[in-house]
Amino acid sequence: MEARHVLQTALLQLTDTEAARIRMDVRITPGFLIEVDERLICQALIAVLRNAFEAGRSHAETVTLRVRSVDNAACLQLLVHSESYVEGGETRRRLFQPFYTTKAANLGLGLTIARRIFRAHGGDIELLSTDPDHGTEFGCRLPRHG
């Protein structure tokens, strides 16, 4: 499946308010193929994006989605950056644990499920950085097909 198509499908599932808050930077060649269940990868990407939206200090805060090919074009990398900061070492250690949340209205399953989906497709997701001055960045990877 063409990676750009998967991204477009995922973004179409966001609310208008969410879509307006995303800044995109896609730097992959047309025809970059990934072998995925489109529905599941869209679910995982939306979970990561919504996590970034909900962590924001305001409803106007922008989330950046950067898409790259890495490892000599062997992998697709999705970088999700928000200006918010993940406070506390325990929170950072537990981000991917089921039912762990810092938000009153959430179940704490979004990042857990996203990680399982990425890993089921031969990829992964991890917290790359979090800094009070530079925000938080998650990295998602998927292997290239073909």
Position 116, amino acid: R
Go through 22-42 and write b for each residue having 16 or more CB atoms within 10 A of its CB, e for each that does not: beeeeebeeebebebeeebbb
Quote the pLDDT of residue 24: 96
Written as one letter, the residue type at 65 is: L
Quick one: pLDDT at residue 55? 82
Average pLDDT across each block of 10 residues of the chain; the chain has 146 residues. List them in order: 97 95 95 97 97 81 96 97 85 88 82 97 95 93 94
How far is 24 from 10, CA to CA, in rounded Å? 13
Distance CA 93, CA 25 (A): 29
Choose among 16, 10, 27: nearest CA to 66: 27
Give the range of the structural domain holding residue 14, as residue numbers without chain letter.
3-143
What CATH number is attached to the domain comprising 10?
A: 3.30.565.10
**Domain total in the chain:** 1
Segment holding 55, helix H or strand E: helix 38-55
Residue from 91, 93, 70 nearest 139 by CA: 70
Read off φ and ψ for residue 58, nearest 5 degrees: -140, 160
pTM here? 0.92
Query: What's the confidence (pLDDT) of residue 13?
Result: 96
The predicted structure's pLDDT at residue 72: 94
Q: Which residues contact 46 (CB under 8 A, 6 or more apart)?
A: 10, 13, 14
Note the pLDDT of residue 89.
Answer: 79
Q: What is the pLDDT at residue 38?
A: 98
